Structure 1
Amino acid sequence: MNVGLFALGIGTGARPGAILKTAAEAERRGISTLWVGEHVVLFDRQDSKYPYAESGEFPLPGGADWLDPFITLTFAAAVTETIRLATGICLVPEHNPLVLAKEVASLDRLSGGRFALGVGIGWSAEEFAALGIPFERRAQRTREYIEVMRLLWSEDAATFHGEFVNFDAAKCFPKPVRGGKLPIIFGGESGPALKRTADVGNAWFGFNVGPDDAAPLAEKLRAMLKSKGRDASEVEIIVSPYTKKITVDDLKKYGDAGVNELVIITSPPEDESQIGGWIEKIAREWVEPAGKLS
């Protein structure tokens, strides 16, 4: 089982030196993926409920540093060669899909084909309103945008006419290294989120999934994949415990559930000179034991 790291782009992980040092050290010590999340604007108060807190309160204040994930990952790509780079997650319906297709392809080409697009539909109605984008039908908008981007990444001249997007003979170059097969990873733990993965995703990223939660969700996803005639072994299962406290003994439960990558969420130390030791500790506690699982 692989171990990914969600630590960059926010707070102490938003500093240039911290990004460069963390990326280089994470690659050196065998961390499989660098994940960076996205919010364009934050609020000190909002009516929308954050789905991963019992209180519904978002854990960061409106004034928290939060970098754009594509710029952050491009910065990290410049000092790495093999580690996967992924959004965890990109709020796809908040973007123009043609602009997003260009950003994704650019990052993927500059990183040598190491990028995976982690996708979410969003939960903050206030953020959508601030951007002037309807909150309603965001799931349908996301599906259409994914279809549009895959078409742009695949076709020499793409034509599309849908509910939200319309264009004729549009050319978008360069293409991602894998073209339209660039991995799409869907986030979310609900039935509709799992269905999106089963329908068109290459991987699923479950957030706030404890060791006892992983197996039921994975089995549900595998059943959906089977019903679609898809090979479940070709769809990666990625989870993060987030607020759930886990120990090294829980790695086996995740492995038995079929989890391919466990994502550790943490922050770089304030003192950038301590980043090497911090990554070493993550490697000893999580990467090395996870790598020993058969």
Structure 2
Amino acid sequence: MQIGFFAVGIGPSADPEIIALTARTAEQAGFHSLWAPEHVVLIDQYASRYPYSQDGKLPMSTKVDILDPFVALTFAAAHTKTIRLGTGICLVPERSPVVTAKEIASLDKLSGGRFDFGVGVGWLAEEFTAVGVPWERRAERTREYLKAMKLLWTEEEPQFTGEFCSFPKVRLYPKPVQKPHPPILFGGESTPALKRVAEVGDGWFGVNVTVEDAKAKIERIRSYAQAAGRDPGKFRFMVSPGLGLPVELDMIKRYRDAGVHQVALGAIPRDAKGIKGEIERLAEKLVVPAAKL
């Protein structure tokens, strides 16, 4: 059973010393992966509902530092050799698909093929307004952008004509080290989100989900995948029980039995000493025992 660490590039961890220390310590401790979130901007007053809290509010200050995840992960890659590096998650519909494809291919090359592409459609409508992208039909935009990015990663001279994105014959190099491209893991728990996983993704990244919820959603994704003519056995499933929540080895075992391949643990560190101690504590308590499951 694999254990990932979330997060770097946010709050106190949006700091070069702490990113480097977190990445090195997590790799040495046996963590499988390291994850960075994304928000271009946050808004003080918003009507959108945050999907991962009971009151629908983001559980942190809007004045928090949040690095561009590709910059943070590239910095982490320079300080490590084996740990995988993922976006948790990248707001795909807010970005240029051509530029994002370039960034991902570059990161995958510099990291030696260690990037996992966690993607989502976003929850903060006001952020979309700020970056000049329509909130409506963002799911359809995401699907089309991913289709275009896959062509850019896999074809020598791709061209694309779509509703949201078009480009003539172009050459985008480097290509990703991983073939045909880095794994695409979708976030989200709604029925449309789970169908996106099954139809265009390579896996699912569930956030704040219980063991029972994870099992039910994994079964649904596998069913949708089979209906779409895809092999359900090739999908990867990852969950985060929630930052700061107590997690015991028995819970890790139950996630494994539910079909989960990786559990993301961790916290947002407050200082270098604290993060090193937290990673080493989690490694002794969970990472090392989980590797034997």
Same-fold call, TM cutoff 0.5: yes
Match of 2:50 in 1: 50
Instruction: Tell me, yes or no, if structure 1 residue 116 matches structure 2 residue 116.
Output: yes
Deviations 1:237-277 (A, max 9, x none): 0011116654322112101001000011412242x134433
Instruction: Tell me, yes or no, if structure 1 residue 9 matches structure 2 residue 29.
Output: no
Match of 1:281 in 2: 281
Decide whether the 8 Å contact of 2:106 with 2:176 is kept in 1: yes
RMSD: 1.3
Q: Distance in 2 between matches of 1:124 and 1:214?
A: 24
Match of 1:253 in 2: 254
**Unpaired stretches in structure 2, ≥5 consecutive residues:** none
In structure 2, the residue corresponding to 1:172 is in which secondary structure?
coil
Letter in 1 for 2:227: S
Letter in 2 for 1:181: H
Q: Distance in 2 between matches of 1:34 and 1:278?
A: 14
Overall identity of the aligned pairs, in %: 52
Structure 1 residues 118-127 or 217-226, which shifts more?
217-226
Instruction: Tell me, yes or no, if structure 1 residue 202 matches structure 2 residue 227.
Output: no
Deviations 1:176-209 (A, max 9, x none): 1125432111111111111111101111101111
Match of 2:27 in 1: 27
Q: Distance in 2 between matches of 1:290 and 1:155?
A: 39
Q: Distance in 2 between matches of 1:255 and 1:32?
A: 15
Letter in 2 for 1:253: R
Match of 1:93 in 2: 93
Decide whether the 8 Å contact of 1:240 with 1:265 is kept in 2: no
Decide whether the 8 Å contact of 1:74 with 1:107 is kept in 2: yes
Match of 1:214 in 2: 214
Instruction: Tell me, yes or no, if structure 1 residue 264 matches structure 2 residue 277.
Output: no
Residue 214 of structure 1, CA deviation:
1.4
Decide whether the 8 Å contact of 2:87 with 2:118 is kept in 1: yes
Decide whether the 8 Å contact of 1:83 with 1:114 is kept in 2: yes
In structure 2, the residue corresponding to 1:182 is in which secondary structure?
coil
TM-score scaled by length of structure 1? 0.96
Q: Distance in 1 between matches of 2:180 and 2:93?
A: 19
Letter in 2 for 1:229: G
1:116-265 alignment, distance < 5 Å: 116-242=116-242, 245-265=246-266
**Unpaired stretches in structure 1, ≥5 consecutive residues:** none
In structure 1, the residue corresponding to 2:159 is in which secondary structure?
strand
Residue 289 of structure 1, CA deviation:
2.4
In structure 2, the residue corresponding to 1:157 is in which secondary structure?
coil
